[in-house]
């Protein structure tokens, strides 16, 4: 009985340690990741300039409020993502050095904005 109890306790401790090990990196990464949000309406980014901290991964939520699809794209961020009409998408970007990064809607090339990383 006591052997079974000890084994169950050991197994519970191992599971707890394993869970902690698996969750810790994810939680740490999540804590480091900054988040910004931007909308597209009337084929204009709102706001046209967004800000984010340097040297932290970034999640950009793009809300497409137009009735046509858009493609969020950036050469310097090295990302592209199609966002359907009336929906939103998340673009994950690596940690960035300070600077200005252009982005645009590849389906409507005149729709442009800037990410300022400080």
Partner 1 sequence: MSIFNVTTGAPFRVLLAAAAAAILTTTTAARAQNESAFHELETKYIFGSFTFGSSTGLEGEKAIEPDTEANFGKRSGRYAAGETELELEHTPNQYVEIELGPTFSYYNISSVPGLDNRNMGGINGVEGTFRFLLVEPGPSRFAATLSIGPEFHSLDETSGDSVWNYGLETRIEADTELIKNRLYLAFNLFYEPETTTQVVGGSFGESTIGASSALAFQIFPGVAIGVDVWYLRHYDGLGFNSFTGDALFVGPTLFWKIAPKVLLSTAWEAQVAGHEAGVTSALDLEDFSRQRAKLLLEFEF
Instruction: Give the binding site for partner 1 (CB under 8 A).
Output: 73-81, 93-94, 97-99, 102, 104, 106-107, 109, 112
Q: Smaller CB distance to partner 1: residue 17 or 75?
A: 75
Q: Answer yes or no: are the C-beta atoms of 77 and 103 closer than 8 Å.
A: yes
Q: Least distance in Å: CB of 97 to partner 1?
A: 5
By C-beta, is 88 or 106 nearer to partner 1?
106
Q: How far apart are CB 112 and partner 1 at their closest, in Å?
A: 8
Radius of gyration (Cα) for the chain, nearest Å?
A: 21
Q: Whole-number minimum distance, CB 9 to partner 1, in Å? A: 42
Other residues' Cβ atoms within 10 Å of the Cβ of residue 40: 22
Closest alpha carbon to 105 in 80, 77, 76 = 80
């Amino acid at each position: 009985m006591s052997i079974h109890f000890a084994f169950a306790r050991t197994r519970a401790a191992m599971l707890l340690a394993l869970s902690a090990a698996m969750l810790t990196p994810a939680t740490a990464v999540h804590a480091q990741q900054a988040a910004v949000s931007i909308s597209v309406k009337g084929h204009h980014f709102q706001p046209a300039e967004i800000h984010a901290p340097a040297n932290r991964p970034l999640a950009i939520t793009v809300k497409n409020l137009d009735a046509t699809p858009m493609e969020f794209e950036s050469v310097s961020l090295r990302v592209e993502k199609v966002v359907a009409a009336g929906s939103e998408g998340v673009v994950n970007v690596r940690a960035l050095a300070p600077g200005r990064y252009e982005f645009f809607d590849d389906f409507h090339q005149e729709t442009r904005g800037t990410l300022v990383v400080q």
